[in-house]
Structure 1
Amino acid sequence: MKSLAFVITGLLFFFSASVNAQDGAQLYGQNCASCHGANLGGGNAASLVDGIWQFGAEDGYVFRNIKFGIAHLGMPSYEATLNDGEIRAIMSYIREAENKVGAQKPPIAKEIETLDYKIDVEIFAEGLEVPWAIDFIDENTALITERPGRLRVVENGSLLDEPVRNTPEVLNEGQGGLLDVAVDPDYNENGWIYLAYSHVLTSGYDGNRPPAMTRIVRGQIENNTWTDEEVLFEAPHETYRTTRHHYGCRIVFDPWGHLYFAIGDRGAGYQAQDFTLPNGKVHRIYKDGTIPDDNPFVDEEGAIPSLFSLGNRNIQGMAIHPQTGELWVTEHGPMGGDELNRIEWGKNYGWETITYGKNYNGTVITEVTHKPGMEQPNLYWRPSIAVCGLDFYRGDLFSKWKNKLLVGALKYEEVRLLQIEGDKVIHQEVIVKNQGRVRAVSTGPDGAIYVVLNKPGTVIKLVPKNE
């Protein structure tokens, strides 16, 4: 006799298949057409067949937007009225309609208008594969990382065909790969360049999934070849994890010679509270990899000595305030609860004991949003915009934006401009929208704003329009 579990599994499979086979057009007409139009071309709400998805184009984003809604914009939740199979049927109908009309994402805009400036948009580099970060050696030379493991050079406005040779081998799986690149503030004197990447342990793991962790190195580039590499941070190998997501990682330097980097929780949120583990934390070292004597946990038995803060889920943006030297970060929440945090010595930012987010399936992580000894974010986004790159504007071209914070968003395909007074965000404005998934944003030495996009793999350059 078949087991009860087997029967139930079969029934669930049959039910799911029958639901997926339902007429998505009918479900769309019953639930969506009144807002998005009977022909999907838009009514009171946006068109679904123009190639523009303002709140996430990927299937996972679209599914969650339908299921859980976007309440503050008037998009209702259908969790109580549609099952998952019915939502997927509607999505299939929309995707088929997109294909029929040949819906494509519009090309990158040549001009952008903001409250303060009209902006010319130039293509700085294109044809890149998952570009992740950009930094500048000088006004004529930029370095760009591609997550599969390539370090690319742009010289005098042209992307060199050949990547830098001999860069570290990376684990290009999931969210891992070659991540950040940072040029030493004293590059003209020492020539150092810093890389962050996912490092995998291979010895002794035959037949098993090898574990990995974020690693920090520095080296120099001579004749387009990576040389003189030094390992600055490598976590104890027993702390490496077999997951393939939440690596962090950005690298920044403060005015006092410290190097900060962040490692994500690696999918184990509870470990972000444990100072004997490297993940879910901000780290502080000197540029040669040595540990500052005044790091907050350096005297705690068993602690990772480089730790600077605890309870960080997955930091994707880091920036040093040009006037105060303070460290600010953007931190991915789960579904909701993206955070902007000013990181301070030894403080605990709560993950995953407190959060404003939920799991991606809608279940509750915790109802607790405040707890003594744990910091509140300076700003949080709910729903999540998938915050990413971060920089304070430090140039002269956009003088009205001096020292304002540039925040990138992957899901919402945005660059936001935040005005900060003390530790308060008093205003935010979207200055770039729907050009691509914003992975990084940076002030160039020429004062232009450089935005690293995924889908397309392009870097755009923003300059004020010459009136």
Structure 2
Amino acid sequence: MRFHWFTPLVTPLILGLALASCAASTSDNGLAEDGDTANQPTVAQPAPETAQVPVVDSVEPVTLLEGLEHPWAMAWLPDGDLLITERPGRLRRVSNGELDPTPIAGVPDVLTVGQGGLLDIALHPQFEDNRWVYFTYAAGTQQANRTQVARARLEGNTLTDWEVIFAVNQDKSGGQHFGSRLLWLPDGTLLVAIGDGGNPPLEVAGDLARNQAQDPQNHLGAVVRLNDDGSVPADNPLLNRSDADPLTWSYGHRNIQGLALDPETGEIWSTEHGARGGDELNLLEPGANFGWPVVTFSEEYSGGPISDQTSRPDMVDPVTYWTPATAPSGLAVYRGDRYPQWQGHLFAGGLVSQDVRRLEVDASGSLVNETPISIGQRVRDVRQGPDGFLYVLTDAANGQLIRLEPSS
């Protein structure tokens, strides 16, 4: 199916202002009432024509492509082509508005079970020079598996030099809670969000898997920070703690599937799944404990609260939480010109809610407005494209690529 990748917006122009009329009164123009014009100021000139800022009150989801099998994430190449991961283990290319029927070669076998498979994708900040593309994926067996990060060079329609640069340091079983979003920081380091391993009765190391999120020595339920080759950054926040893994950047997370940087403020935002309700929007802080499962608004799937605490002074509270659950996946901070009134707003996808939530947060970090944009399908990813539009991937056997176009 073909679509026009860049759609120009028609913006009306403001007409020039009329010349200001001169009056005799000094209260109007500062001139002497006797008409002396020797020191008369210059008459104001019309303002130059400027483009009117379009007012966008709502958007309309427009389907661009379909036929994707459980797409998970997307990334744009410098030439405008779009790369899309499919959870069963394929990497697809969209070029000139068409989905290439042949997947990109060179993706090794991944563990496709439950929520696992080929997951996130991100280009190296210097991709044009080094051609590195980064991936998260599930690896291992159903009895012993983990989230891994690998990089490979994209040459034409083939990946070469596949290299695993990170693997979670604790195996788990089953097919739940792999995470796993990637986010490049301005200093060239890479954040990777890792899920907590799964729901009870699943155990890891003789304890409930979810309790691993409170152990900073364990990557489960953590955000880790890597150099681009997988090594440890010299300024990681817990580097000098004997009870923490040197890659741990934050912990106490359940299952982050939305991770985004605001390029103007430097703020790092995440959305993570709760259990039965209690999904969270968080403003991340290096070295911080975000509470799961000791502090949470979630309830057990069998009923009843997981914890009797929803806040603690030594743990970071969410900016907001959702009960009932939206199952958030995909997150973007908008900094473009297609919807100018939405500068700095967050856009969070929802698998269960089948929408994209537009979230407005004030300078104090408080949520002041939340508006759902109905998609009518499970939303897996939300990204701002290089053309300034927001794009959405839907999670289905016949998944779609959707663009949000201004409708007012």
The TM-score range, normalised by the shorter chain, is 0.7 to 0.9
Normalising by structure 1, what TM-score? Answer: 0.71
Q: Which fold has the larger relative contact order, with Cα–Cα distance below 8 Å and residues 6 or more apart in sequence? A: 2
Q: Is the 8 A contact 1:139 1:444 kept in 2?
A: no
Whether the aligned pair in 2 keeps the contact of 1:140 and 1:157 (CA below 8 Å) is no
Q: Which residue matches 1:132? A: 72
How far apart, CA to CA, are the structure 1 residues paired with 2:61 and 2:196? 36
Q: CA RMSD in A?
A: 1.6
**Aligned counterparts of 1:401 and 1:198: Cα–Cα separation in 2:** 35
Distance 1:311 1:183 in 2: 27
User: Do the aligned residues in 2 keep the contact of 1:131 with 1:145 (CA within 8 Å)?
Assistant: yes
State which drifts further: 382-391 or 132-141.
Answer: 132-141
Q: Which has the higher helix share?
A: 1
Deviation at 1:125, TM superposition (A): 2.1
State whether structure 2 residue 133 is matched by structure 1 residue 200: no
Q: Tell me: CA distance 1:342–1:118, structure 2 relative to 1, closer, same or farther (3 Å).
A: closer
Q: 1:176 to 1:372 in 2, by over 3 A?
A: same
User: If the length of structure 2 is used for normalisation, what is the TM-score?
Assistant: 0.81
Query: Larger Rg: 1 or 2?
Result: 2
Is 2:396 the partner of 1:460? Answer: no
Name the aligned partner's letter for residue 210 of structure 1: Q
SS at match of 2:67: coil
SS of equivalent to 1:127 = strand
The residue type paired with residue 132 of structure 2 is W
- Alignment-derived partner of residue 395 in structure 1: 336
Asked if 1:153 corresponds to 2:65, the answer is no
Q: Secondary structure at the match of 2:239?
A: coil
- For 2:277 and 2:221, the matched residues in 1 are separated by 18
Q: 1:118 Cα shift?
A: 4.9
8 Å contact kept, 1:341–1:378: yes
Instruction: Pick the aligned partner of 1:231 from 160, 164, 167.
Output: 164
Whole-angstrom distance in 2 between the partners of 1:307 and 1:361: 32
Residue 266 of structure 2: which of 315, 325, 328 is its match? 325
Equivalent position SS for 1:270: helix
1:336 to 1:118, Cα distance in 2 relative to 1, 3 A: closer
Identity of aligned residues (%): 42
Contact 1:320 1:327 in 2 (8 A): yes
> Which letter does structure 1 place at the counterpart of 2:349?
G
Aligned residue identity for 1:148: P
Amino acid at match of 1:164: I
Report how many residues are paired.
342
In the alignment, structure 1 segments of 5+ residues that lack a partner are 1-114, 202-208
Q: Specify the SS of the correspondent of 2:77.
A: strand
Within 1, Cα distance between the matches of 2:114 and 2:239?
Answer: 33
Please say if 1:220 is aligned against 2:153.
yes
Task: Check 1:118–1:235 CA distance in 2 against 1; reply closer, same or farther (3 A cut).
Answer: closer
CA distance in 2, matches of 1:437, 1:235: 28
CA distance in 2 between counterparts of 1:189 and 1:124 reads 30
Aligned equivalent of 1:304:
245
Letter in 2 for 1:241: K
Match of 1:6 in 2: none
2:190 counterpart of 1:249: no
Q: Is the 8 A contact 2:270 2:282 kept in 1?
A: yes
| Deviation for aligned residue 1:290 | 1.7
State whether residues 269 and 352 of structure 1, in contact with CA within 8 Å, keep that contact through their aligned partners in structure 2. yes
Secondary structure in 2 matching 1:138: coil
**Shift in Å at residue 123 of structure 1?**
2.4
* Separation in structure 1 between the aligned mates of residue 267 and residue 375 of structure 2, nearest angstrom: 31
Query: d(CA) in 2 for partners of 1:364 and 1:123?
Result: 40
Describe how 1:301-450 pairs up with structure 2 within 5 A. 301=242, 303-422=244-363, 423-431=365-373, 433-450=374-391
Matches within 5 A, 1:34-113: none
Question: What is residue 165 of structure 1 aligned with on the other side?
Answer: 105
Q: Give me the whole-angstrom Cα distance separating, in 2, the residues matched to 1:377 and 1:125.
A: 35
Contact 1:395–1:444 at 8 Å: present in 2 too?
no
Q: Say whether residues 1:280 and 2:221 are aligned partners.
A: yes
Q: Which residue of 2 aligns with 1:50?
A: none
